[in-house]
Amino acid sequence: MESLISEWGGESVIIRFDRPTSAWMIIAIHSTRLGPATGGTRMKPYPNLNDAVEDALKLAAGMTYKFAVIGFPRGGGKAVIAVPHDFDNNKRADLLRRYGALIQQLGGLYETGPDVGTSPEDMDLISETGEPYVFCRTSEKGGAGDSAPHTALGVFSGMLAVSEQLFDNPSLAGKRILVQGAGSVGRILINMLLEADTEVMFSDVDQDTIYHFRNTLNLTYIPAEDVLHTECDIFSPCALGGILNRETIPRLECRAVAGAANNQLAEPADALRLRDKKILYAPDYVINAGGAIGIVGLESMGWSVKEADKQVMSIRQTLRQIFEVADSERITTDEAARRIAESRLAGVAS
């Protein structure tokens, strides 16, 4: 773990053992150059503490680039609550309150919202001891609620830039789009795409979700084993990360990848593999930034819903810039996004 943290390049890592539950709280502060470190709280079991810390470090660095590339005044951070595999859910509320107290002790160094395994209702509990450093509380508790609608809006906006780059026309009408994962974000995105007259296909593992979209809305269902080699204009991963790797990329039958899932590339070299296959990649930490932009803007920056939507839709302009840099410099879109982010970070640091 020592080498993992020392080679990371971030600012600090806070690790606390919660004795009543045997859970580990890890808060990774990657950068505060642009503002307070901000990121979600992930809560789930891990094989070991090292894996939990590694996940927090990687996700925190991603948040730094997410905010920097879009020019948003926040730094990168992420929290992981690694619970035991036999975690007693009756102890959840008190665990979250103790975690909130830890955030409060940091005095604004880190601000958080929901992530995998947590919800707006959980943010209500965390805010009891951690306010004012908690976002995405329920509307009943004065928060802006779920970030999924803004995340989906950002992905939709990014798809307009992708369509413009591929077809010289931002319209998505008639385009074949495969959404992998019809959960909280994917479900909203599918509805937006249907309103835009796209030909939507979907894949999911939940039987109720499959029934809704296949039997009620008459959408084409693609079994999980067929997703990668299904021909489409845009493949939109909205489930788990790591879907793009040396084994899966050669099987892809799409012209672009643009989805909400985090950490879609298994390794940096996968961006080059996509480019070599002539598949346009919208970097995930850019196109899925809408949730963070919208919620922080609404709850911390005094934005109206209209202003939040406008700012989220600016993801389209950010991706345009990324595509232009990638073309002119003959680099991958992932590298182009990182160059833009690093330039902004260096400008603040100088």
User: Catalytic site residues?
Assistant: 78
134 touches 123 (CB < 8 A): yes
C-alpha distances in angstroms, 298 versus 33, 255, 304, 305? 22, 35, 6, 7
Residue 189 CB neighbours (<10 A): 29
Residue 70 structure tokens: 């879009």
311 touches 293 (CB < 8 A): yes
293 touches 312 (CB < 8 A): yes
Residue 204 structure tokens: 């999911």
- Nearest Cα residue to 157 out of 274, 59, 293, 255: 293
With tokens 């879609």, the residue in question is: 264
Q: How many helices (H) and strands (E) does the chain have?
A: 13, 11
With tokens 């640091």, the residue in question is: 349
Residue 302 CB neighbours (<10 A): 8
Q: What is the DSSP string of 162-175?
A: HHHHHHS----TT-
Q: How far apart are CA 17 and CA 93, in angstroms?
A: 16
With tokens 């590694």, the residue in question is: 54
